[in-house]
Structure 1
Amino acid sequence: MLILTILLLSLLINPTAHTSNICDNISLTKIMPYMPADYRIISKTPLKDVNLCDILIEANGKIIPIYANKEIAIVGSLFKNGKSLSSREINSYLSARFKKLFTKYGKNLSSSVAVSYFPQTAKSNGKFFYLVVDPECPYSNNIKQDIKRICNKLNIGAKLIFISKYKGSNSRIQSFICNKKGFSDYLKGNYGKTDRCKKGIDYIKRTNRLIIDNLNITETPTIILPSGKRYSGINTHLIEQFIKNNTK
């Protein structure tokens, strides 16, 4: 065990190593034969004072951090001073990627709004956020009333966009659109009688293509700001802070 520890340390901390070149000529498939064949390297960054290269890859739709040199590879999170550097790096990449997608497709969000909610005092300030939900998503449904409370507290509007991922959501969305329901109906879970109409069918096709295919958003609920920033999750405190800190 002692010999293995010394060997590992010698591979990681090498005073003669040139970290500026540590990212060169690393073959992940040679070190890890089980690597997915279609993986893509997003970025490579030499780590200071450590004989490792910080590599961010995308494989099977997931972003994965790997720390490697020519001989070893470590898959997982890297922590410093109690904070995950890996999470920060991944979030930074995802934010930058979404920003690019938003620049290209964000202008189409307004045409995908099913209904809106604006507190009386928010109608004149023009502030709002897009709320992406699936009517059959339990996480989306759990924060309905909290979203209204946040709107009232922060004096901001919410524009609701439906996507269909969960079983049964297609019929609910179509009923909502075809029966011309409002935001208060959404809060009550009143989607109207089961109905099908061309407008409802077209709405689902359009929003799924925009949100899931073009903007690459699959999590619900997701908050999208007009500035191109997004937040996915159900922690209402974090949702409120995200909106407050990123809305002028």
Structure 2
Amino acid sequence: MCAVTVCVWVSPFITIRPMWIVCLSCWLRRGPQFPRNPLLLMTADSSPSMPLIVAIDGPAASGKSSVAELLAQHLGVPFLNSGAMYRAVALACQRASVDLDDPLAAGEVAAGLELDFDSSGALLVGGEIWDVGGEEVGELASRVAQHGPVRHAMVARQRILGRHHGCVAEGRDIGTVVFPEAPLKVFLMASPGVRAMRRAEQEGHPERASEYEQELRERDRRDRERSIAPLRPAAGALELNSDDLTLEQVVASILGAL
């Protein structure tokens, strides 16, 4: 096996990790002692290919973030939470009293944000950690995410982060728009009722499950019907329904497809 272990820069998180570099023919003949998922493949002529990217799409509250974060830990690559980026845009617009329904104004805000993620996967805006959680911020993000100028700015930033360092990225258009060339694309689904129950339990308000279900159905409709990058499975995507699967089972299914 013509392979060596080296330390290389693999993420924007100031993290140095050991990495296998192999020729493609050896990778295809790999034995059980060899890592299943090297982060960087070198062909026989030593031309580097793109770092490992896994694209995970799906509707709101389908478990994308939890799955992507755990999968990224297994693979040793950064976790790119695109939803958090759109939430940051919405929050920045709100703080600046910018109309969230104004595409150009919201796009200017998006283009001016310095977005990154730290080693724990927390969103950094201008080098500072922002808390972008909560259902209200999610609803605001769904509004700004419909705007072409906002999506243009976010897609450009996501591509820079992912293509330079590799990642497990989750969102609504990762496999269809941001990284259509990703070697593995996943579309994670769950019924509105199951997603609503999970969200209600997560928020500590099980009595609001019906309310959450109505909100999720409306967000699904908005995401699927928008003119720019509508929510849909990417061509060739692995489609998984997590209604009856645990987080670990979903991640195991994705790892098995690599």
- TM-score, structure 1 as length reference: 0.26
Bigger radius of gyration: 1
TM-score by length of 2: 0.25
